[in-house]
Amino acid sequence: MKEEDHRERTRTVRQRITDLLSEKEMDSRELSRDIGIREKEVYAHLTHIARSLAPQRKRLIIRPSECLVCGYVFKDRKRFTPPGRCPRCRKSHLQRPAFRVS
Helix (H) or strand (E) holding 95: strand 94-95
Q: For 78-88, write each residue's pLDDT tens digit.
A: 899 999 999 99
In the chain, where are the structural domains located?
3-101
What is the pTM for the complete model shown?
0.86
From CA 32, how far away is CA 34, in angstroms rounded? 6
Instruction: Tell me the pLDDT tens digit for each residue of 36-94.
Output: 999 999 999 999 999 999 999 999 999 999 999 999 999 999 899 999 999 999 999 99
CATH annotation of 3-101: 1.10.10
CA atoms of 81 and 96, how far apart (whole Å): 8
Determine the pLDDT at residue 1: 47
